[in-house]
Amino acid sequence: MVVSSILIAQTTLTVFAAASLHQAFPALGTQFEASHPGISVRFSFNGSQILEAQLEQGAAADIFASADKRQMDKALQAQLVADPKPFASNELVLVAASSSKVTTAHDLSAPGTKLVMCAQAAPCGAYARRLLQGMDADPAYGQTYSGGVLRNVVSEELDVEGVMSKVTLGEADAGIVYRTDALNQPNLRSIALPALPGTPIVYAIGVVRTSARASTAADFVAFVLSAGGQKILAKYGFSAART
Partner 1 sequence: MMHRSTRAAARDTTLTATALALGAAFALFSLTALVALIVRVSPAGLWTALRDPVVEQALALSLRTSLISAAFIIVLGTPVAAILATPFRGRAILETLITLPVVLPPVVGGLALLLAFGRAGLLGRELDFLGLHLPFTTAAVVIAQTFVSAPLYISVAKSVLSRANPQLVEAASTLHASRAYTMLRVVIPPALPALAGGLTLAWARALGEFGATITFAGNLPGVTQTMPIAVYMAAQTDLQAAIAVAVLLMLLSYGALLAVRHVAGESSVVM
Part of the chain binding partner 1 (CB under 8 A), chosen from 5-13, 36-44, 149-157, 227-235 = 149-157
Query: Of the two residues 74 and 213, which places its CB atom closer to partner 1 in the complex?
Result: 74
Segment 48 to 67, residues that bind partner 1, using CB under 8 A: 49-50, 53, 56
Query: For the chain, how are helix, strand and coil distributed in percent, rounded to 5?
Result: 40, 25, 35
229 lies in the binding site for partner 1 (CB under 8 A): no
Rounded to an integer, what distance in angstroms lies between the CA atom of residue 138 and that of residue 142?
6
Selection from 137, 157, 155, 146 nearest residue 108 by Cα: 146
DSSP string, 137-186: TSTTT-TTHHHHHHHTEEEEESSHHHHHHHHHTTSSSEEEEEHHHHTT-T
Single-letter residue type at 181: D
147 lies in the binding site for partner 1 (CB under 8 A): no
Size of the site for partner 1 (CB under 8 A): 22
Part of the chain binding partner 1 (CB under 8 A), chosen from 30-38, 139-147, 150-158, 225-233 = 150-158
Among 19, 39, 94, 116, binds partner 1 (CB under 8 A): 116
Instruction: Tell me which residues touch partner 1 (CB under 8 A).
Output: 47, 49-50, 53, 56, 114, 116, 119, 121-122, 153-158, 162, 166, 169-172
